[in-house]
Amino acid sequence: MARKPGSSPSAIKNRAARTAAALAPAGQAPSAAAAAPKKPFNPVQFIREVRAEARKITWTTRKETWITSVMVFIMVIVASVFFFGVDWILGTLANLLLKFAAG
């Protein structure tokens, strides 16, 4: 199967280098554009941002939590009955096959 033109690793690297050079600000090397100056850590600003994000959280009510818990419990029961049934059927079939092969 023939390769598409320009899909060789060297062609891909050349395109990536040209793209990085085109996106870099004038007079700077492409690697300088990727390394932005790092801001100093401000613990007070961090706490403010955490509190602001925590205010946006929509907490569930007691009723919603109860309903969700009951639904999870029901689904666990349904899944366990299903897998018990499938396991029993497959085990029975395996025993019949082994009895048929041995006898």
Residue 72 in any domain: the answer is: yes
SS (H, E, C) 4-71: CCCCCHHHHHHHHHHHHHHHCCCCCCHHHHHCCCCCCCCHHHHHHHHHHHHHCCCCCCHHHHHHHHHH
Q: How many domains does the chain have?
A: 1
pLDDT tens-digit map of 74-92: 999 999 999 999 999 999 9
pLDDT of 27 strictly over 90:
no
Tokens of 73: 């419990």
Residue 36 in any domain: the answer is: no
What predicted TM-score, i.e. pTM, was given to this entire model?
0.47
Q: Cα Rg for the chain, rounded, in angstroms?
A: 31
Residue 13 in any domain: the answer is: no
pLDDT value for 18: 80
Range of the domain at 86: 62-98
- Evaluate whether 16 touches 29 at the Cβ level (below 8 Å): no
Residue 23 in any domain: the answer is: no
Residue 4 in any domain: the answer is: no
Sequence-separated (6 or more) residues with CB below 8 Å from residue 68: 60
